[in-house]
């Protein structure tokens, strides 16, 4: 049996002028099959993968202390 994963779509709240526009886009991507990850702050032009790796490293460092 093959398990399919939903593709991930990243959204930044700072790209939207209103929360209604943000929620509408988020729902649009959900309806077409994406798993939507929303960020409240940060710079959308930065490499998201580096940020996620740093977040995981910091979490591991905190729980191992």
What does the pLDDT look like over 1-43, one tens digit per residue?
Answer: 666 688 888 888 888 899 999 999 999 999 999 999 888 766 6
The count of domains in the chain is 1
Q: Distance between CA 11 and CA 30 in Å, rounded?
A: 12
pLDDT value for 43: 66
Owner of token pair 């991507």: 29
Domain that holds residue 49: 8-63
Quote the tokens at residue 11: 């959204």
Q: pTM higher than 0.75, yes or no?
A: no
Kindly report the length of the chain. Answer: 65
The per-residue b/e assignment along 40-63, b for 16 or more CB within 10 angstroms, e otherwise, is: eeeeeeeeeeeeeeeeeeeeeeee
Whether 3 is covered by a domain: the verdict is no
- Which tokens belong to 13? 């709240």
Does 60 score more than 70 pLDDT?
yes
Residue the block writes with tokens 């191992």: 64
37 within domain boundaries:
yes
């Amino acid at each position: 049996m093959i398990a399919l994963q939903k593709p991930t779509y990243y959204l930044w709240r700072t790209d939207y002028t209103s929360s209604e526009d943000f929620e509408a886009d988020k729902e649009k991507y959900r309806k077409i099959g994406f798993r939507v990850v929303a960020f409240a702050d940060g710079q959308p032009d930065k490499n998201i993968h580096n940020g996620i790796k740093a977040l995981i490293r910091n979490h591991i460092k905190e729980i191992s202390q």
